Amino acid sequence: MPPVVSREVWLAARKALLAREKELTRLRDAVNAARRRLPMVKIDKPYVFTGPEGSIDLPDLFAGRRQLYVHHFMWFEDRQAFCKGCTGAANHTFNNPRLREVLEGRDVTFVAIARAPFDQIAAYKAAHGWTFPWYSSQGTDFNYDFHTTLDESKAPIEYNYRNKPELLAAGFDAGSLKEDWPAISIFLRDGPDVHHTYSAYARGLDSLHGPNAFLDLTPYGRQEEWEDSPAGWPKQATFA
């Protein structure tokens, strides 16, 4: 348990933490401002996905809006299984129609894309009662070009803007540098032209999982193994 102190001692510690929280808020605002000023890359390669009505290209995924948010839904081909973490994110966050309504009100279309066959996507979506748009990129280079699926036979290994030697030097196991990894990508449409503006990977997706924001404010935190918590703090399994 945390130490028990007087209200005065607690207030002094809370104010010290508040100063650091304000620093973080200001830094987050500055980073968000810089993100809005990132240059972008025009998409010249045609990507055609499979959805409930058949084939659909990248510009049509925007559904008439100017911005497109893509969640790369992880698919483990060897196990023929979808990612437990992505499933949790869908359950807790982006299956919320109100969230998509707010995004659409700001000219943003949300979609999920996985390299799984569309019939398996449709079955998994129906089994969970999900309503968000979800498409298959099977047979395309989309996942490999945006470095959410790692396969050296398809493209050089790159994840979170580090190449294979850099990833290995950072402690990644060579056997883990394959299949799907967490990622999101953002696109901006200018008339008929589509541009890639942003992608985030790994811990860059932290704030996008709804329960994390609540748990970060509690004494036990997220209860993940990697968290810096006092000895003896409880640890839990990944959300689903």
In a domain? residue 174? yes
In a domain? residue 132? yes
Length of the chain: 240
In a domain? residue 89? yes
Q: Confidence band (pLDDT; 50, 70, 90) for 237?
A: low
In a domain? residue 6? no
CATH number of the domain encompassing residue 169: 3.40.30.10
Residues 186, 194 contacting (CB under 8 angstroms): no
For a pLDDT cut of 90, what percent of the chain falls above it? 76
pLDDT at 239 over 60: no
Tally of domains in the chain: 1
What residue numbers bound the domain in which 103 lies?
43-208
Q: What is the pLDDT of residue 58?
A: 97
Segment 12-34 shows an average pLDDT of: 96
- Beta partners for 7? none
Give me the half-sphere count of Cα atoms (radius 13 Å) on the Cβ side of residue 14: 8
Decide: pTM greater than 0.85: yes
Query: By CB neighbour count within 10 A (0-12 exposed, 13-18 middle, 19+ buried), where does 80 fall?
Result: exposed
In a domain? residue 112? yes
Q: Confidence band (pLDDT; 50, 70, 90) for 173?
A: confident
Alpha-carbon distance of 28 to 1, in angstroms, equals 31
